[in-house]
Amino acid sequence: MSGDTDDAGFGDPVFEEIEAGETTWRFDAAFLRSHWTCIWGRGCLGIEEVPAPEHGLGCCSLGAELDGDEESMTIAALAATLDAGRFQHHADAQRDGIFGDETRSTTRVVDGACIFLNRPGFGGGAGCALHLAAVDAGEPPLEWKPSVCWQLPLKVDWAPRGDGGEVATVRAWSRRDWGDDGETMAWCCTEGALAYVGDRPVIESLSDELEALTGVAVHVELRRRVLGS
């Protein structure tokens, strides 16, 4: 592991709790106030054992876990709309599909990363083909991408509440959340200081994602508490 990964770049968690009927939301306000930003293509070291920013794989090396049949069908339908000019592995998708196996629970890995990841130098643009297509269509990328992808680096832990409701804890992804793969990753983007170079706090830069996770009312109250406005 690299030498800059021992500690999170935003200090100890500071939780804000918001009651919303059957759900109690708990937010790590320290992370939401931090200036974390995705640095894919700008020095992201990737999650393989050896840092390799030049390959542009980011956190896509494992493919994407899909959240049930509905999401799998949605991603398949969107993939069918992509053309070869924006989708580097278009031919692979047409030949062998986009899923890792017959369970349709993950996207397929091609040449060391998710089938949707266009590599540096591809004429149609590097990065997620679904993300690029969403931008082309003037639509939010979170409406096109697998939920695990657009939620990163936000992680929601669900736990039962004593009265039959649930507690949802929203925090930053950590190395342990990657399971066994997390033990060998060269870098986790919420650790250390490398990715804490954004020009605004996470509560603002990931505003759309937070609202999609929590709903409008909780998001408005969260902003009031974290930003003081």
Q: What is the pLDDT along the chain (229 residues), one digit of tens a residue?
A: 333 334 566 777 889 999 999 999 999 999 999 999 999 999 999 999 999 999 999 999 989 999 999 999 999 999 999 999 999 999 999 999 999 999 999 999 999 999 999 999 999 999 999 999 999 999 999 999 999 999 999 999 999 999 999 999 999 999 999 888 888 998 999 998 999 999 999 999 999 999 999 999 999 999 999 998 6
Residues 65 and 125 in one domain: yes
Residues 65 and 128 in one domain: yes
Q: Which of 86, 106, 140 is the last residue of a domain?
A: 140
Regarding beta strands 23-28 and 166-172, do their DSSP bridges make them parallel or antiparallel, or are they unpaired?
parallel
The verdict on residue 4 lying in a domain is no
Contact predicate 108/65, CB 8 Å = no
The verdict on residue 55 lying in a domain is no
* Buried-state track 100-129, b at ≥16 Cβ within 10 A, e below 16: beeebbbbbbbeebbbbbbeeebebbbbbb
The domain in which residue 117 lies consists of 60-140
Determine the residue type at 108. R
Q: Which of 140, 167, 199 is the last residue of a domain?
A: 140
Strands (E), 33-149: 109-110, 113-114, 117-118, 127-128
Residues 171 and 221 in one domain: yes
The verdict on residue 214 lying in a domain is yes
